[in-house]
Amino acid sequence: MIDRIRQVVRDHARLPIDVNELEDNADLYQAGMTSHASVGLMLALENAFDVEFPDSMLTRAVFQSISSIAEALSKLEVPAA
């Protein structure tokens, strides 16, 4: 799951650095992701994992790191790939 999340982050978070240089718990906002880019990331994650984030999960903390995204996705029913 982490590799798929990294790919989506690489493609949609608009980071000025390579996502592979970041630890799983590194702050994506400190790495350069804007709130606007986080919306695109959220939509891309929903598409990639065939889920919908409930309103209660639409917080900065959920999309703050690869680890926090993985934790949020694990709470949703992610279909097996």
Looking at every residue in the chain, the average pLDDT score rounds to: 94
In contact, 54 and 73? CB cutoff 8 Å: no
Handedness of CA 53, 54, 58, 61 (dihedral sign): negative
81 has a pLDDT exceeding 60 = no
Give the mean pLDDT of 14-26: 96
Amino acid, single-letter form, for residue 14: R
> Which pLDDT value is given to residue 27?
98
Segments making up each domain of the chain, as ranges: 2-75
In contact, 70 and 63? CB cutoff 8 Å: no
Q: How far apart are CA 32 and CA 66, in angstroms?
A: 14
pTM: 0.92
Domain 2-75 matching CATH 1.10.1200.10: the answer reads yes
Q: How far apart are CA 40 and CA 46, in angstroms?
A: 10
**What is the tens place of the pLDDT at every residue in 38-66?**
999 999 999 999 999 999 999 999 999 99
